[in-house]
Amino acid sequence: MASNYLAIAADIKTKLTAVSGIGLVHDYERWAAEWSKFIEFFRDPTGKINGSEITRVAVPERFEGVFFRHHHFRVKSYRGVNDAQATGKAFQVMADDVCDAFRVAEPGTAGVTWRYGDGANPDNSPAQIVLIDDRMFGSVLCHCSEIALVVTERIIT
C-alpha cells in the first residue's frame, strides 16, 4: 500500500490557500538557521509577513475490523503585527475561518480513503485552535497560531 501522506498534505494546502487572508502556504515545515531567513519564507508579495506551514506531528493507527490511520497535522500561521491596522483582530478571524473550512471539508481527490475528522474522537471538529499568541522572530513581532487538524484514513491492504 502506498502512503497517502503527500496527497493529504496537498489537499490541506489547497483548502488553506482558499481561506481569505491566509497568505503564503507551505506544505511542509520551514527551517532556517537565522531568524531573518526564516521570516522571509512567510513574506508575501506586498512585503508583509503573512503565511502558514503544515507539518504532520503524529500518526497513530487503530484496528476496528479494518485499520485506520489518524494523521495529526499542525498548521502554524504567522502574520506581522501592525497595531494601527488592528492585525490581531483579522488574525483571530483567519484562525476561525481555517477551522470553518475544515469542519465541512471533503477530500479533494476522487476515490480517496480518508476524511477530515478524528475517527478516534468523532464528536470533535477536525480542526482545533490550540494556540494563539504573539512572538518575536528576530526583530519582527508576529501573531502566531497553531491549529491541530486530524485526518482519518482507512487503510486498504
CATH number of the CATH domain containing 10: 3.30.2000.30
What domain range includes position 110? 5-154
Q: Which long-range contacts (CB under 8 A, 24 or more apart) does 38-43 make?
A: 38/137, 38/138, 39/78, 39/137, 39/138, 39/140, 39/142, 42/78
Give the pLDDT confidence score for residue 112 in this predicted structure.
77
pTM attached to this predicted model: 0.91
| Whether the predicted pLDDT of 90 surpasses 80 | yes
Give residue 120's identity as a one-letter amino acid code.
Answer: A
How many independent structural domains does the chain possess? 1
Where does the pLDDT of residue 122 fall: very low under 50, low under 70, confident under 90, or very high at 90 and above? Answer: confident
Backbone angles phi, psi at 114, to 5 degrees: -135, 165
pLDDT per position as a tens digit, 39-56 = 899 998 999 999 999 999
Residue 125: strand, helix, or coil: coil
119 band by pLDDT with thresholds 50, 70 and 90: confident
Alpha-carbon distance 75 to 146, whole Å? 6
- The answer to whether 73 touches 152, Cβ cutoff 8 Å, is no
Q: Which of residues 3 and 12 earns the better pLDDT score? A: 12
Over 90: is that where the pLDDT of 11 sits? yes
pLDDT reported for residue 52: 96
Q: Is the pLDDT of residue 157 over 80?
A: no
pLDDT at position 110: 62
